[in-house]
Amino acid sequence: MGQWCPRYCHDLDMDAMKKYMCLICGWIYDEEKGWPEDGIVPGTRWEDVPSSWICPECGAGKEDFEMVEI
């Protein structure tokens, strides 16, 4: 087909900031805001958050977080 992907498609893939919720306590990590208290600057993608990072609320690891649509 070779159809060109419209711009909004790229925006969804490339620019959309996501949120991740801690399944233990419900705390939400927002990529748009980051978590400056732990040195995670606003706009940091979830995959770029260090794997050693833990939930500031309950101490759960990244594996206990799940992407959420808000």
- Distance in angstroms (rounded) separating the CA atoms of residues 45 and 31: 6
Q: How many residues bind Zn ion (CB under 5 A)?
A: 8
User: Using CB under 5 A, which residues numbered 1 to 60 contact Zn ion?
Assistant: 22, 24-25, 27, 55, 57-58, 60
Task: Tell me how far, at minimum, the Cβ of 51 lies from Zn ion, in Å.
Answer: 16
Structure tokens that stand for 40 in this block: 């995670």
Output the smallest distance, CB 9 to Zn ion, in A.
33
The Cα 60–Cα 44 span in angstroms is: 19
* Closer of 12 and 58 to Zn ion (Cβ): 58
Nearest to 28 by CA among 18, 37, 38, 36: 18
Task: Give the binding site for Zn ion (CB under 5 A).
Answer: 22, 24-25, 27, 55, 57-58, 60
